[in-house]
Amino acid sequence: MKTLNLGIVAHVDAGKTSLTERLLFAAGVLDEIGSVDAGSAQTDSLALERERGITIRAAVVSFVIDDVTVNLLDTPGHPDFIAEVERVLGVLDGAVLVVSAVEGVQPQTRLLMRTLRRLRVPTLVFVNKIDRGGAQYDGVLRSITGRLTPATVAMGSVSGLGTRGAAVTPYGATDTGFTSRLVDLLAEGDDALLAAFVQNEAAVSCCRLLAELAAQTGRGRVHPVFFGSAITGAGVDALMAGIARLLPAREGDVDGPVSGTVFKVDRGPVGDKIAYVRMFSGSLHVRDRLQVRGHDEKVTGIRVFDRGAVVRRASVLAGQIAQLRGLHGVQIGDVVGLPSPTSTRDVRHFAPPMLETVVVPVRPADRAALHTALVRLAEQDPLIALRQDEVRGEISVSLYGEVQKEVLQSTLAAEAGIDVTFSETTTICIERPIRTGAAVETIGADSNPFLATVGLRVEPAPAGTGVQFRLEIELGSMPYAFMRAVEETVHATLRQGLAGWQVTDTAVTLTYSGYWARQSHAHGTFDKSMSSTAGDFRGLTPLVLISALQQAGTRVNEPVHRFALEIPAETYGAVLPALAQLRGVPDPPTAQGTAYLLEGTIPASQVHALQQRLPRLTSGAGVLESAFDHYQPVHGRAPTRARTDANPLDRSTYLLRVQRRV
């Protein structure tokens, strides 16, 4: 049987989880449809999800359509939990993007569609809520075509729009408008179809058009649009038929090499790790041994998703999604077996978290337990990015927004029994080097207490290139372990630059190296005092790197969002000064009837303030979209962040902490 790993994605409140429930009911997996509002949705398994009526963690459930097994992944819609969506994208065969017929295309909808198109994930669009008052058909289609993708075709008509009795009639071969639209759309990607249509229009059958529609949908070029209601079930049968017919289900190569990707990590009732793995090829059995982050570990249990249940199996085969137990060191993003071309899609699809806050336990005695609990949560969401300040005894976490902070607070209370508060949320900046700087420290010098020679050069690199480590020494000039120690320490040290922010877009070159070979006494015992170790290079590298960085200088950059703001024309005079006050830079406005569309840039730190002021400035009629665009230098006094490392900026303090001496 073929398998299709299908993602359901949407802006929050578009009805994504309700659609999942309806699909499970239609497939015979559920006897009764759950409700998000009532907290009875099957895929919202966390108590916090049921309480808040939102999806927080990606969930997996399986059902069958015809001869296709569908592993459905329900993802969060709220932008604060975009990291959950990101981790799922790399394991999908196809997706359904849910759009509300009432609210239409929303900010998160555009972000998701851009990403799905960039990754060429075959995607169907489902316009939900046709039974709600204010639902639109033509308006939503125009919005999808204009703001998401022009390569769309409506797959049916709607009667009774905006009423409880709204119904969908799928288009067929007798609908000339539908077939004409298919020919126009598909001929752009198929010269043979265009030639056949020009020679003899009647020779191009509807069956051929539908076959070509499936082919171009499978390549991510065309996006069929279905209408319906997850609540009443209208149009859902047509969507299910479209999922089976238009999205590319596959028969996995079970005899191929073992290849899979870990996209989610949970904890079991007794604290054991549960790794969610999508298998791309081969098969994995209980008691098989795997290399996980350099350690040999044994699979002790396998559970596979099957027709709405999670069942124990002796093996997991290509195409399936399974829960693996026994892999104690596993982390999200790990490859099981060999990498797959599909599994190695770029894992950075969205901007990283741009907010940071300090988590403070209400009871000081909970400090150690808080660290343990946060480490476990970071396993499930690596972008939490813990930073522990040993001097101040503080733990900082990275976040996407205020809702994520509230969820983190509730999760710690419910799962770990720890009540916490938060310090003020700050925006995460970065540092970039201004010019070239170099430094070197030589083994045996009085000022160098380490048995190592390290020379480093720091140079600016193009934006978006991250940190590049290069060699200007010969590969065999010192042991690989020492060279590796320098490289790893460079990356670790650059997490905190001269102002405390991560240094990026830089090239660091190892220009000098030296070491003392292993020494021993006459009786053969190892003499550490005369022998270089990797620890010497790890200890010296931060001092050399920071010296080079000080010579190069760094500039603090803040994140900037690109915004689109729709406002009534009469409020333009009030909105423009507010934008200027928040350091927003608008482009010339575009008139849209009685409204204006303002596009431009604004510092990420000011987006929340603009959202709060917008209802008052526009009498509740303003609509704001924003997304990360780039980093720009901070004007005026640059913000700093307290260091959490041994502080190589202060040599005496650093040596005291690292070597217990000055």
With 70 as the cut, is the pLDDT of residue 583 above it? yes
Of the pLDDT bands very low, low, confident and very high (cuts 50, 70, 90), residue 271 is confident
Q: Same CATH fold, 558-633 and 355-428?
A: yes
> b or e along 484-497 (b: 16 or more beta carbons within 10 Å of the residue's beta carbon)?
ebbbebbeebbbbb
- What confidence category does residue 350 fall into, taking pLDDT thresholds of 50, 70 and 90? low
Q: Kindly report the CA angle at 225 between 219 and 226, in degrees rounded to 5?
A: 125
Level-2 CATH architecture, domain 431-552: 2-Layer Sandwich (3.30)
For the ranges 102-116, 235-249, 444-458, the lowest mean pLDDT is seen at: 102-116
Q: Report the candidate in 384, 329, 315 with the shortest Cα–Cα distance to residue 352.
A: 384
Unique residue bearing structure tokens 């607070």? 409
pLDDT at 215: 92
Domain 355-428 has CATH 3.30.70.870: yes
Share of the chain above pLDDT 90, in %: 45
Task: Write down the pTM of the prediction.
Answer: 0.71
Q: What pLDDT, in 10s, does the model give residues 548-575?
A: 999 999 999 999 998 888 899 999 999 9
Per-residue b/e over 371-406, b at no fewer than 16 CB within 10 Å?
A: bebbeebbbbbebbbbbeeeeeebbbbbbbbebbbe
Kindly report, residue by residue over 410-438, the tens digit of the pLDDT. 889 888 899 999 987 889 999 999 999 99
Query: Taking the CB of residue 260, how many other CB atoms lie within 10 A of it?
Result: 29
Q: How confident is the model at residue 232 (pLDDT cuts 50, 70, 90)?
A: very high
What pLDDT was estimated at residue 162?
A: 93
The Cα 554–Cα 504 span in angstroms is 10
Quickly count: other Cβ atoms within 10 Å of residue 48's Cβ: 17
Q: Average pLDDT, whole number, for the chain?
A: 86
The tokens describing 241, both together, are: 């038929």
Task: Please tell me the predicted confidence (pLDDT) of residue 164.
Answer: 93
**Tens digit of each residue's pLDDT (9 = 90 or more) over 136-162:** 999 999 999 988 899 999 999 999 999
Helices (H), 36-158: 47-52, 82-89, 107-118, 138-147
Cα dist from 310 to 85, 139, 303, 604, whole Å: 22, 41, 6, 42
Distances (CA, A) of 358 to 381, 399, 407, 434, 642: 17, 11, 15, 30, 12
480, exposed or middle or buried, with CB in 10 Å at 0-12, 13-18, 19+?
Answer: exposed
Query: pLDDT band at residue 84, thresholds of 50, 70 and 90?
Result: low
Give the model's confidence band at 525: pLDDT under 50 very low, under 70 low, under 90 confident, else very high: low
Per-residue confidence (pLDDT) for residue 51, from 0 to 100: 54
Break the chain into its structural domains and give their ranges: 2-246, 259-337, 355-428, 431-552, 558-633
Asked whether the predicted pLDDT for residue 35 surpasses 70, the reply is: no
CATH architecture of the domain formed by 259-337:
Beta Barrel (2.40)
Closest to 240 measured CA to CA, from 228, 231, 250, 232: 228
Residue 92 confidence (pLDDT) above 90: no
Instruction: Please state which of the ranges 37-41, 125-129, 448-452, 614-618 shows the lowest mean pLDDT.
Output: 37-41
Lowest-confidence pick of 88-92, 414-418, 440-444: 88-92
Mean pLDDT over 277-287 rounds to 91
Average pLDDT rounded to a whole number, residues 517-530: 62
Task: Give me the pLDDT at residue 346, please.
Answer: 43
Identify the CATH number of the domain defined by range 2-246: 3.40.50.300
Listed in sequence order, the residues at least 6 apart from 334 whose beta carbon sits closer than 8 Å to its beta carbon are: 261, 262, 275, 292, 293
**Tokens 């699979």 appear where?**
299
Residues composing the chain: 662
Q: What pLDDT does residue 378 have?
A: 81
Q: What is the CATH number of domain 558-633?
A: 3.30.70.240
Confidence of residue 524 (pLDDT cuts 50, 70, 90): low
